[in-house]
Amino acid sequence: MTCLDMWIICFRLRRHSRTSTTQKKNENPHLTLKELSTGIQQILDTRQDARLLSSPLFPPTVPDVNAVSATRNRAKEPPSPRFRRGALHWAKDCDYLEKSCHSCKRTGHKKGFCRNFNKRRKRNTKKKLRRANQVVVVASTTTSTAPFKRIYRTVTITGTPTRMRLDTGADVTLLSLTEWITIGRLKLLPPLFALRSADNKEIKVRGHFQCNFSIEGHKGRGNCHVADTTSLLGLDWITQVEPLFHNLTGNTICNAVSATTLAKLRSSLTAQLQKRFAAVFAPGLGCWTKSKASLKLKPDATPVFQKARPVSYAVLPRLSQEIGRLVAANVLSPVGHSDWAAPIIVVQKKNGSIRLCANFSTGLNDALDQHQHPLPTPDDIFTKLNE
C-alpha cells in the first residue's frame, strides 16, 4: 500500500469523493500528493457552489425575541346596573348616550331614570354661586406677616371710626364681621362678587351695604363688603380720596416731571454753549493756526508709488465731490506729478456721505523720520496730576 492509499483512507471523505480520488490515482500512477489534494479541493468547491445555487436566496431566519401577549383580566359585566337605563353593561356600550328622555327632555338616559342621572350630574359639576357674576381678587386677608410693615388708616363709616389696613392690591373694600357689629349691624344686601385671595383661596362673603365714608376729612360713598377677614381699605375707596391716591402714585408723577425738567435744562445749556462758542460749533473743519506741522524724510528714503485701488462706478460721483470739498477746505492741494503715491479707501458713513482714508502704511510711514520718545500712559498722567 502506497502513501497515497494511506492518505485516502485516513482522510475523511464522502463516498463519491473517495471514488473520484481513487479514479484519479488509477489514471495517473505517478500522481503526487499535492496534485491529488488540489484535485480533491476542486471537487469539494464545485459541489459547494452547486449546493448554494440550489438553495433559496434569502433563507428564513428565526426571530431573536418571541412576542409575548398578555390579556387583561376584565370582568365581562359591571358590578352594578348603570344609571342611564338600569341594565348590566358598560357605560361606553350604552344605547342611550345620544337618546333623549321623554320625561325631562334631557339626553343620555332612559325614561324613569331621571333622578339617578341628575344625581350623577350634580356630583361631576362644580358648585357655582348664583348671585355672583364676577370674581374679584383681594391681595391679602391674613395677619400672619409682620404688623409693623402694614399701613393703617382711620375710616369713618356712618359716623363710627374704624381702623382699616390700606391694601392697594385689593379691588374692593372689606369689613370684618366684628367691625360690622360695632358700627351697628347695617342691613346687608346679597353678595355682588365671588372674592378670592392672592393665593386663590375663596373668601366667605356675608353680604354688602352702601354707605358714606370719610378718610382724613375727605368724603366719599361706595360699597362695603362684609367678610370673614380683616378690614381692608381697597382701591374702590382709595381712588375717591385724591390726596391719598396721589401720595401713592406720586413717584411716577415726580419721575415724569424730573425727566421733563432735565430735558429742558439740557436743551437750554446746549443753546448757551452754541451761542458763546460759535466758532467751535460752526459747520466744516476747524483750522489749527498756532503752529505748522512738518514731516521729515529719512536721508536714505526712496519714493514709493503704489497703484490705485479700484472703486465702484456708483461711488465715483460722490468721490469726486468729496475730493472737491477737501480741496476747497484747504485740506488737499492738487499736484500735476508726484513720485509718492498711496492708495485710498472709501468708507460710507451712516448718514450716506463718504470718508476718504489714505493707507500710508504702504511705504510713507517707513520713510518718515519719527520722534522716538515714549508716550505717557494714563497712570503716568494721573500720578503727575496728584503731585
Ordered structural domains, the chain, with CATH: 135-250 (2.40.70.10), 297-387 (3.10.10.10)
List Cα–Cα distances, 270 to 49, 136, 278, 281, in angstroms.
102, 52, 12, 11
Q: What span, in angstroms and rounded, lies between the C-alpha atoms of 66 and 267?
A: 87
How far apart, in whole angstroms, are the C-alpha atoms of residue 100 and residue 194? 35
Whole-angstrom distance, CA of residue 11 vs CA of residue 192: 109
Residue linked to cell 359639576: 125
Residue keyed to cell 475730493: 323
pTM for the whole structure: 0.32
Report the chain's terminal Cα–Cα distance, integer Å: 123
Residues 6+ apart with CB under 8 A from 26: none
Continuous H helices in the chain? 3-10, 15-27, 33-54, 114-124, 177-182, 235-238, 242-248, 250-276, 316-328, 364-367, 378-386
* 229, 203 contact by CB (below 8 A): yes
- Return all residues near 182 (Cβ < 8 A) that are at least 6 apart: 160, 162
Contact 166, 152 (CB under 8 A): yes
**Amino acid (1-letter code) at residue 65:** V
Query: What letter would DSSP give residue 375?
Result: P
pLDDT by residue for the chain (387 residues), tens digit each? Answer: 566 565 655 555 555 566 666 777 777 777 776 777 777 777 777 777 666 555 554 444 444 444 444 445 555 666 566 555 656 666 666 766 667 776 776 777 666 666 655 555 555 544 443 333 344 545 555 544 444 467 888 888 888 888 888 887 788 888 888 888 888 888 889 888 788 887 788 888 889 888 888 888 888 888 888 988 888 888 888 888 877 777 776 655 555 556 778 888 889 999 999 999 998 888 878 888 888 888 899 999 999 999 989 988 989 999 999 999 999 988 899 998 899 999 999 999 998 889 999 999 988 999 998 887 888 899 999 998 887
